[in-house]
Amino acid sequence: MHALIAEPEMDESAQSRPEAGGPTHRPVLLDRVVELLQPASGKTLVDCTAGLGGHSLGLLPRLLPDGRLIALDQDEQALERSRRRLAEFAPRVTLVHENFIRLPDVLARLGIERVDGIVADLGLSSLHVDQAERGFSFAREGPLDMRMDVRQATTAAWLVQRMPEAELARVLEVYGEERWAKRIARRIAAVRREGPITTTTQLARIVADAVPGRGPFRIHPATRTFQALRIAVNEELTALETLLAALPSCLAPGGRAVIISFHSLEDRRVKHTFRQAAAEGTYRLLTKKPITADDQEREANPRSRSAKLRAVERR
């Protein structure tokens, strides 16, 4: 048996997270987001991932008196918390319960042709990890859910129980970059023949037993499996690619886009898309290399340790 280290998903580094929605919630790289988006009165900005409202709260005071913020989130619970935190700016902020994959449709419904800035902070929020019932973390026992939008039908439990072994191995290898994907999928398939796999801690033990060697490890053996299942459940990479493709049509000339990613699968897509579009004359690169958190922010906010920020300006 491996020593089970309560390590969160590798792209979020959530040990010592602030209480979800509490006063100590810290948005990642906020100062750099504000600096790059240049909020000012009269501008219209979009926060594609409102979460607990951290980035929105940093942008809104600088949009007064005549600017506007559109804040999207596919998680209704997170959006409600944002609504409470941003209540004082109510006339200047529009909150929309929607996945950013539908950003062009949202803007069209609001009668907005193009905007001056867009920010997307990808991955999990502290709300997801801190609530065991959401099923994102193996540090606390909860149902294998992992849905950011609870309106959708597919859960992590459904994938673990129903996905063919070969397809499960592919998901773990591609989305989790897991070297032991086939062994883990084989073990999951064997266990589920004896009975359902329904909880986060149950799955974490199964994965740990499947990985060769003995702990302790730098990260928990189930880290990559949980990342892969979360990405698959929420179709995160498809959503990101759709957003990246839509950005040029959503940004006004001189408008800026800022994307914060937390693992290489996301960052590679952002980097390649931005560089190709810049070479074609669509963008001006504002960050030739990704911006990362300094030592002070990393210490104050563990989530920032794996964050990479890239930004472009629409020509």
Tens digits of residue pLDDT in 101-115: 999 999 999 999 999
In a domain, 4, yes or no: no
The verdict on residue 75 lying in a domain is yes
Q: Are residues 150 and 181 in the same domain?
A: yes
97 & 85 share domain: yes
Residue 11: the pLDDT is 45
Q: Which residue has the higher pLDDT, 213 or 181?
A: 181
DSSP 141-197: --BS---SSTTSS--HHHHHHHS-HHHHHHHHHHHH--TTHHHHHHHHHHHHHHS--
Q: Within a domain: residue 8?
A: no
Q: Is 90 exceeded by the pLDDT of residue 146?
A: yes
Does a structural domain hold residue 131? no
Same domain, 101 and 173: no
What is the pairing mode between strands 308-314 and 115-121?
Answer: unpaired
Q: Residue 36: inside a domain, yes or no?
A: yes
Question: Does pLDDT of 178 surpass 90?
Answer: yes
Rounded to an integer, the average pLDDT of 183-205 is: 97
The DSSP code for 10 is T
- Identify whether residues 230 and 245 lie together within a single domain: no
Residue 16 covered by a domain: no
pLDDT of residue 41: 98
Predicted confidence at residue 124, as pLDDT, reads 80
5 in a structural domain: no
Rounded average pLDDT over 214-225: 80
Share of the chain above pLDDT 70, in %: 91
pLDDT for the residue 190: 98
Instruction: Let me know: does 177 contact 164? Beta carbons within 8 Å.
Output: no
Q: Quick one: 165 and 294 in the same domain?
A: no
pLDDT at residue 10 above 90? no
- Whether residue 301 is found in the same domain as residue 179: no
Q: Are residues 250 and 114 in the same domain?
A: yes
pLDDT in tens, 260-307: 999 999 999 999 999 999 999 999 999 999 999 999 999 999 889 999
Whether residues 147 and 110 fall in one domain:
no
Q: How many domains are there within the chain?
A: 2
Q: Do 105 and 146 reside in the same domain of the chain?
A: no
> For residue 248, what are the domain limits?
30-126+236-314
Together in a domain, 227 and 208: yes
Same domain, 228 and 250: no
Contacts of 239 (CB under 8 A, 6+ apart): 99, 100, 101
Single-letter residue type at 150 = V
Q: Is 19 a member of any domain?
A: no
pLDDT band at 215 (very low <50, low <70, confident <90, very high): low
**Tokens 């995160």 map to which residue?**
236
**Over residues 150-164, mean pLDDT:** 96
**178 vs 193: CA distance, rounded Å:** 23
Q: What is the pLDDT of residues 240-264, one digit of tens each?
A: 999 999 999 999 999 999 999 999 9
Instruction: Select from 176, 207, 234 the last residue of a domain.
Output: 234
Contacts of 41 (CB under 8 A, 6+ apart): 63, 64, 65, 66, 67
Whether the CB-CB separation of 30 and 57 falls below 8 Å is answered with no
Domain boundary among 219, 234, 249: 234
Q: Is the pLDDT of residue 21 over 80?
A: no
Higher pLDDT, 71 or 219: 71
Strand-pairing partners, residue 96, are 72
Say whether both 116 and 243 belong to one domain.
yes
Q: Which of 185, 219, 234 is the last residue of a domain?
A: 234
Tokens of 271: 């980097």
